[in-house]
Every structure is written in C-alpha cells, then in structure tokens.
C-alpha cells in the first residue's frame, strides 16, 4: 500500500470549505467487519445479492430474504463504527457544515456520531408493511419468520430500498441539495455502479473538489480531482489529522 498522505491542495480545500459532503458505500464499513455489498462474489449462500435485495426476490421467498437480512442485522449490531466513520463524525466538528450521504443500511455513521446523515438506501433498524406502510423497530434478534404476515393482509419487509424501488424522496432531495452546495466531496468506499447514487457526484458544482478514497479504481475515478488508493479507515483519519494540524 502506497504510504499515501492527503495532498496540500486537499488540506487547503478542506480548510477553506463551507460545506463538505461525504458520499459513502459499503467499503467504509468493511473495516468494521461488515462484508461489502458485492464483496468478492456478491453471493450469499447460492443466491446473488441483487436477486435477494428486490421485491421479486421477497415475493418469491420472504423467509429466505428475511433470513439474509436477519443475518446482516446481527452483523450490523455486532459491528462497531471504525476510524473512518469516526473521522467523518469529527470532521463535522471542524468545518462549518457537513453532510454524510450513505448507501449503507448498517447505521454505523449515526452510531459514530455524524448528525446530518441521508440514508439513500434506507436502514436495517426498521421494518414496514408493504401494504399499509405501518413501521416497526427491528427487534434485536431480527424479524421473527412466523410474524411476516401483517394484520392488514400485507407483509412486513426490511426498511431498505431494493433494486427497482425508488429512493426515499426526502433523503434523495437532501443529498442532491448537499452535493450541489459542496466545496469538497469525499467519495468513500463505493464501487460507483449502483444508480442513482452512483451519479450523485455529477450534481457537484464545477468549483467542488472531488476526491475518491477506495483501494480499487472505479468507473468515475478518472473524472475526479484526486483518488487515494487506500482504505477509508487509514485515509480519513490522515486527512482529518492534516486538517487539524493545518488549522492555526
Ligand atoms: C431505482 C439496500 C428507479 C438493500 C441497495 C440508472 C438509473 C437509475 C437506476 C438504474 C440505472 N441503471 C440500473 C438501474 C437499476 C439499479 C442499479 O443501479 N443497478 C446496478 C446494479 C446497475 N438501481 C436501482 O434499482 C435503484 N432504484 O433506480 O429505481 C425507480 C424510480 C422511480 C420509481 C420506481 C423505480 C435502487 C438501488 C438501491 C438498491 N439497494 N442496498 C441492501 O443493502 O440489501 S444497493 C447496495 O449497493 C448497497 O446499498 C450498497 O451500498 C450499494 C452500492 O454498492 P457499494 O456500496 O458500492 O458496494 P460494493 O460492494 O459494490 O463496493 C464496495 C466498494 O468499497 C468497492 O469499490 C471496494 O473497492 C471498496 N472498498 C472495500 N474495502 C474498502 C473500500 N473502500 C474504502 N475502504 C475500504 N476499507
């Protein structure tokens, strides 16, 4: 791994920024022990994750889909935010305005102390009925497989956005407005292949300094100002330390 340090330009941009936005994907939670969404294979048991994370997959086998989400919920509950999550929460205290826009459903940004967080793909902390919309907190032990049917005739489903489903309007509108006003945009731990989140960086103004933090290149890497081929848990704390060190 190249001993990467944040550039003086990035530090200058952060020092002068009024509004910083971090757009994160499952890679920022990898160092918390939560497998990335597509991971090495993108499969759980013998099922492709994009098949399970869909209304069709849920209709086909609600017990299988809830078993998958209950396993992931236990992983989220057992996980702790890592140095990358905490660096973004600390950065919020060091700049005038900061927004975290995440594709993750693990809730780790909120647990790390970030206050303005838009969860574009929902969160596993809740379930809701697919017919009447009644919401319920996810029990610590996960959703009981014998309680999927709801009294209204619908089914309780995880509070996440599946493939083919629209993103929550409030979160999307908030995310777009934040990126449109960003002076620095940090794109952290996402493969930039899932839309419309993957296209969000295009809403950044020409003056915005766009930076990617990801051990691997992505389809948008060559469109950005800087790319750091490093894990989020290493690079974000270095970036914060450089900013703090630079602040007179
Ligand atoms: C929609 C919740 C329309 C569930 C998820 C063009 C425009 C619009 C839509 C589409 C389009 N083209 C195709 C579509 C359809 C689809 C889509 O984008 N498909 C892709 C696969 C091509 N999009 C949709 O269906 C979206 N809905 O468009 O609806 C509509 C409009 C109106 C009315 C009705 C319908 C909904 C998409 C949301 C799906 N739900 N999650 C769940 O979690 O189970 S997506 C899922 O992917 C996760 O949220 C995940 O976060 C997200 C993105 O993946 P990544 O986070 O990037 O994870 P990945 O594993 O891919 O990459 C990890 C990265 O981390 C890697 O690059 C790796 O190198 C890096 N990394 C690893 N370790 C580290 C690290 N980085 C830093 N540090 C480390 N240590």
Beta carbon of 62 within 6 Å of any ligand 1 atom = no
- Ligand 1 pocket, residue 2 CB under 6 Å: no
Query: From residue 136, how far is each of 69, 103, 158, 224 by CA, in Å?
Result: 15, 21, 10, 40
Q: Is 37 in the pocket of ligand 1 (CB under 6 A)?
A: yes
pLDDT score, position 246 = 63
What is the predicted pLDDT for the residue at 43?
Answer: 72
Mean pLDDT, rounded, of the chain: 95
194 CA from centroid of ligand 1 (Å): 3
The confidence score (pLDDT) of residue 85 equals 98
pTM value is 0.95
Q: Is 80 exceeded by the pLDDT of residue 37? A: no
- The pLDDT, as a whole number, for residue 41 is 66
Inter-residue contact 223 to 242 (CB < 8 Å): no
Ligand 1 midpoint to CA 103 (Å): 7
Question: What separation in Å is there between the alpha carbon of 172 and the centre of ligand 1?
Answer: 14
Q: What is the structure's pLDDT at 40?
A: 59
User: Which residues are paired to 117 by β-bridges?
Assistant: 100
**3-class SS string, 79-96:** CCCCHHHHHHHHHHHHCC
What is the phi/psi pair of residue 163, to 5°? -60, 135
Please tell me if the CB atom of residue 26 comes closer than 6 angstroms to any atom of ligand 1.
yes
Q: 226-245: per-residue pLDDT in tens?
A: 999 999 999 999 999 999 98
For 92-234, where are the E strands, in sequence order?
97-102, 117-119, 122-129, 135-137, 156-160, 184-188, 209-213, 226-228
Between the CA of 67 and the centroid of ligand 1 the distance, in Å, is 21
Residue 192 C-alpha to ligand 1 middle, in angstroms? 7
pLDDT tens readout for residues 73-114: 999 999 999 999 999 999 999 999 999 999 999 999 999 999
**Average of pLDDT values for 163-188?**
98
Backbone phi and psi for residue 157, each to the nearest 5 degrees, phi listed first? -130, 160
According to the model, what pLDDT value does residue 1 have? 41
Angle between helix 232-246 and helix 8-16 axes, rounded to 10 deg: 70
Which whole number is the average pLDDT over 202-222? 97
pLDDT for 48 equals: 86
Q: Would you say residue 248 has pLDDT above 70?
A: no
Closest ligand 1 atom to residue 122 Cα is 2
Decide if 63 is catalytic. no
| Protein residue whose Cα sits closest to atom 74 of ligand 1 | 27
CA distances from 194 to 38, 96, 100, 175, 241 (A): 11, 30, 17, 15, 31
Give the tens place of pLDDT for each residue, 6-23. 999 999 999 999 999 999
What's residue 46's pLDDT? 80
Model confidence over 115-155: pLDDT tens digits?
A: 999 999 999 999 999 999 999 999 999 999 999 999 999 99
Give helix 83-94 / helix 232-246 axis angle, nearest 10°. Answer: 30
CA distance 154 to 128: 10
Which of 48-52, 119-123, 129-133, 168-172 has the least mean pLDDT? Answer: 48-52
Q: Give the rounded percent of residues in the chain with a pLDDT score beyond 70.
A: 96
| Index of the ligand 1 atom closest to the CA of residue 232 | 78
Of these residues, 19, 85, 109, 121, which one is catalytic? 121
Are 243 and 91 contacting, i.e. CB atoms less than 8 angstroms apart? yes
User: Is the bond into 196 cis (omega within 30 degrees of 0)?
Assistant: yes
Residue 214: CB within 6 Å of ligand 1? yes
């Amino acid at each position: 791994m190249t001993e990467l340090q944040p550039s003086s330009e990035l530090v200058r941009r952060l020092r002068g920024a009024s509004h910083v936005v971090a757009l994160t994907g499952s890679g920022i939670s990898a160092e918390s022990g939560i497998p990335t969404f597509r991971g090495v294979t993108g499969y759980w048991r013998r099922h492709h994750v994009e098949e399970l994370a869909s209304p069709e997959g849920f209709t086909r086998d609600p017990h299988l889909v809830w078993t998958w989400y209950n396993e992931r919920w236990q992983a989220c509950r057992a996980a702790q935010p890592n140095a990358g999550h905490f660096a973004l929460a600390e950065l919020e205290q060091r700049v005038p305005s900061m927004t975290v826009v995440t594709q993750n459903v693990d809730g780790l940004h909120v647990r790390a102390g970030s206050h303005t967080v838009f969860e574009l793909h929902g969160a596993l902390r809740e379930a809701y009925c697919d017919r009447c919309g009644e919401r319920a907190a996810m029990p610590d032990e996960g959703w009981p497989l014998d309680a999927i049917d709801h009294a209204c005739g619908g089914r309780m489903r995880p509070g996440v956005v599946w493939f083919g489903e629209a993103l929550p309007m409030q979160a999307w509108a908030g995310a777009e407005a934040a990126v449109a006003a960003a002076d620095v945009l940090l794109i952290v731990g996402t493969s930039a292949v899932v839309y419309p989140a993957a296209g969000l960086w295009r809403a950044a103004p020409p003056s915005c300094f766009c930076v990617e933090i990801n051990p691997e290149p992505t389809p948008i890497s060559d469109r950005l100002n800087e790319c750091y081929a490093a894990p989020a848990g290493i690079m974000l704390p270095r970036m914060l330390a450089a900013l703090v060190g630079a602040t007179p």
